[in-house]
């Protein structure tokens, strides 16, 4: 399967930036918005000259201005021009009042809203504690079905999406990938079709595990196993938070390897896990201590190394990514700051606490 050809993007509402303009595509309509670069990372989004912008379209435009930036970005809206949407933007938490004349859309807030990325925005599942192998944990909500997440990736000009693996329809693909020599060397699940059918059936019955396919423009190229950390084997090695999640991955398509792809799927997967359960404060992984490249990728993606420990089958490194850091550092946008480690200048706390104008 080749991923060389760009397939038409099909999202209910999305936007693309082209210089000083943003084009919003929503339900078959197209809206042009102008952008004024005010310097220092501040981008003023101007209201439409013709027609009107919807809340979803405005959020999509702000996403387009913050989805691929090496430096910090703050999106500014003139309150007079955006008066019709101000109440909704403030109520949803997408914007904050910057001063008497301006609203500010902070990416660290915008990207925590599920509106643009989750097709099925579920109401929070009640929390009831139940017994588990490593202490009590919350009763887990039902697993998602079908399309779980979608996001336009500007540097690939394709849509990355996540969908729940179908144990029947996706069995042949799963079987082929698991028997690939490269995959089998580290995933260690090579086997017959019947063995893989049974493997997926067991996973379907396990409330703490969720098999997911990663796709580009609808075509699967990688496989993930998402898990709740407290019930997982890793829960025996650290005091997992009640809603901490972890993940395993294999890239089944060799044409979808390299920096452009990993900087698309890795932060998007983290984004999905944080969005789908707002109570999740951290994500963890346990790669082999000998897997230097994977550890480098995870470090660049914001994961901190916590400790080394031993599973029965490998020496592992516990890595952890905190929710607050993911959103404040804008890890979805391939950030490359000029001065790594410098305190953020355009963050919510820096601007609103200082009264900066």
Both 218 and 141 in one domain: the answer is yes
Do 69 and 335 form a contact (C-beta atoms < 8 A)?
A: yes
Q: What are phi and psi of 85, to 5 degrees?
A: -110, 0
Both 74 and 147 in one domain: the answer is no
Query: Predicted confidence band at 37 (pLDDT cuts at 50, 70, 90)?
Result: very high
Task: Say what angle helices 55-64 and 83-92 make with each other, to 10 degrees.
Answer: 70
The whole-number pLDDT of residue 100 equals 97
The whole-number pLDDT of residue 339 equals 60
Both 182 and 256 in one domain: the answer is yes
How far, in Å, CA of 250 to CA of 223, rounded?
5
Q: Which residues contact 230 (CB under 8 A, 6 or more apart)?
A: 132, 134, 135, 137, 240, 241, 242, 244
Residue 118: how many other CB atoms lie within 10 Å: 19
Return the CATH number at 70. Answer: 3.40.630
Indicate the helix (H) or strand (E) that contains 38: strand 29-39
**Residues catalogued as catalytic:** 286
* 354, part of any domain: no
Instruction: List the single range of 46-60, 251-265, 293-307, 341-355 with lowest mean pLDDT.
Output: 341-355
**DSSP 8-state code for residue 312:** S
The whole-number pLDDT of residue 5 equals 35
Average pLDDT over residues 280-292: 92
How far, in Å, CA of 269 to CA of 113, rounded?
15
* 172, part of any domain: yes
Lookup: tokens for 172: 């042949």
* 296, part of any domain: yes
Do 213 and 229 form a contact (C-beta atoms < 8 A)?
A: no
- Provide the residue count of the chain: 357
pTM score, two decimals?
A: 0.93
Both 195 and 265 in one domain: the answer is yes
The model's pLDDT over 75-120, given as tens digits with 9 standing for 90+, comes to 999 999 999 999 999 999 999 999 999 999 999 999 999 999 999 8
Average pLDDT over residues 139-167: 96
Indicate the helix (H) or strand (E) that contains 349: helix 348-354
Return the CATH number at 180. Answer: 3.40.630.30
Q: Which residues contact 357 (CB under 8 A, 6 or more apart)?
A: 98, 99
């Amino acid at each position: 399967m080749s991923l060389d050809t760009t397939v038409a993007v099909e999202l209910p509402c999305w936007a693309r930036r082209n210089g000083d303009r943003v084009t919003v595509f929503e339900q078959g309509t197209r809206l042009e918005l102008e952008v004024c670069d005010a310097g220092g990372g501040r981008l003023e989004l101007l209201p439409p000259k013709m027609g009107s912008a919807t809340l979803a379209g405005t959020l999509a435009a702000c996403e387009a201005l913050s989805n691929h930036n090496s430096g910090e970005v703050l999106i500014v809206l003139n309150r007079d021009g955006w008066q019709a949407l101000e109440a909704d933007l403030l109520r949803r938490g997408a914007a904050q009042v910057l001063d008497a004349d301006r609203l500010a859309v902070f990416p660290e807030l915008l990207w925590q809203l599920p509106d643009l990325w989750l097709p099925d925005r579920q109401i929070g599942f009640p929390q009831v504690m139940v017994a588990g192998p490593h202490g009590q944990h919350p009763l887990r909500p039902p697993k998602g079905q079908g399309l779980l997440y979608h996001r336009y990736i500007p540097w690939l000009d394709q849509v990355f999406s996540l969908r729940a693996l179908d144990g029947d329809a996706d069995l042949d693909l799963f079987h082929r990938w698991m028997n690939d020599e490269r995959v089998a060397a580290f995933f260690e699940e090579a086997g017959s079709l019947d063995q893989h059918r049974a493997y997926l059936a067991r996973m379907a019955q396990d409330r703490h595990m969720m098999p997911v396919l990663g796709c580009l423009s609808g075509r699967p190229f990688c496989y993930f196993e998402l898990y709740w950390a407290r019930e997982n084997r890793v829960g025996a090695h650290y005091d997992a938070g009640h809603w901490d999640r972890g993940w395993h991955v294999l890239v089944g398509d060799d044409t979808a390897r390299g920096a452009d792809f990993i900087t698309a799927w890795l932060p998007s997967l983290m984004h999905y896990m944080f969005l789908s359960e707002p109570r999740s404060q951290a994500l963890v992984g346990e790669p082999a201590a000998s897997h230097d490249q994977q550890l480098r990728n995870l470090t660049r993606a914001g994961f901190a190394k916590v400790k080394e420990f031993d599973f029965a089958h490998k020496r592992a490194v516990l890595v952890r990514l905190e929710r607050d850091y993911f959103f404040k550092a804008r890890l979805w946008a391939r950030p490359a700051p000029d001065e790594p480690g410098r305190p953020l200048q355009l963050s919510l706390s820096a601007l609103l606490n200082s009264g900066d104008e």
